[in-house]
A = this chain, B = another copy of it.
Amino acid sequence: MAIKERKEREKQDMRNLIIESATQLFLKHGYDKTSIRNIADDIEYSPATIYLYFKDKDEIFYVIHENAFELLNKELRKNEAIENAFDRLGGIGRTYMKFALENPDYYDLMFIMRAPLSQIKSEQKWEAGECAFGYVTETIGACLEQKLIKPADKFLLAMSVWSFVHGLVSLYVRERMCVFPLSDDLLRDMLYSSLENYLSILKT
């Protein structure tokens, strides 16, 4: 029965088609303005068809959110090449910040919006998040073992580092940094400088 396999393939193709259209519309117009009807129009199917492939709108954006994490994780792991654990931690921080500033809509979906996580609520785990966060924790563990940073609980430090960078980029992404009377370019520089300053005071 090769027919069943073909049907399975076709089902996956249709899912991909929907995700591709949704991703493109999302990156162009944002979450709120990407409606099921817009996606349906774009792929030239009726809105109801989309519900044969996805439970609801949030499930679509959960998949996009997972793709975005794959992208971020790929970027983060590039720092694996850095020998010194502290330099690696710095690299990870800068990569994370760069990702957020270059892909603000993805970042929003991954770490700010409630939508994609409605998929997880009670039951599943937030694997994508745990994976990215785990890498930070590991690296901090290495820094602690080699006494490259001031001693503290590994998880507390991981939470701190993550929160620090997230704080900077999320205030920027959601336009709260306007309290600084600075040009956008100078502001971005200052975000990076803040990170450097934080790393320097973490150092032993």
Which residues of A does B touch, CB under 8 Å? 111-114, 117, 120, 125-126, 129-130, 133, 150, 152-153, 155-157, 159-160, 162-168, 170-171, 174-180, 190-191, 193-194, 197-198, 201-202
Within the complex, which residue of B156, B167, B178, B201 is in contact with A170, where a contact is CB–CB below 8 Å?
B167
Whether A117 and B175, one on each chain, are in contact in the complex, defined by CB atoms closer than 8 angstroms, is yes
Question: Which of A112, A159, A177, A197 has the most chain B CB atoms closer than 10 A to its own CB?
Answer: A159
Whether A130 and B162, one on each chain, are in contact in the complex, defined by CB atoms closer than 8 angstroms, is no
Bound-complex Cα distance A125 to B181 (A): 10
Whether A167 and B176, one on each chain, are in contact in the complex, defined by CB atoms closer than 8 angstroms, is no
- Chain B residue with Cβ nearest A131: B179
Q: How far is the CB of A186 from chain B (nearest CB, A)?
A: 11
Q: A159 with B129: in contact, given A111-B171, A168-B167, A175-B114 (CB under 8 Å)?
A: no
Within the complex, which residue of B120, B152, B167 is in contact with A165, where a contact is CB–CB below 8 Å?
B167
Chain B residues, CB < 8 A from A190: 155-156, 159
Whether A126 and B159, one on each chain, are in contact in the complex, defined by CB atoms closer than 8 angstroms, is no
21 contacts between A and B (CB under 8 A): A114-B175, A117-B175, A125-B178, A129-B176, A133-B179, A155-B180, A159-B180, A160-B194, A160-B197, A162-B171, A163-B164, A163-B167, A163-B194, A164-B164, A164-B167, A164-B198, A166-B171, A167-B167, A167-B168, A170-B170, A201-B202
Chain B residues, CB < 8 A from A150: 201
Within the complex, which residue of B117, B130, B164, B179 is in contact with A160, where a contact is CB–CB below 8 Å?
B164
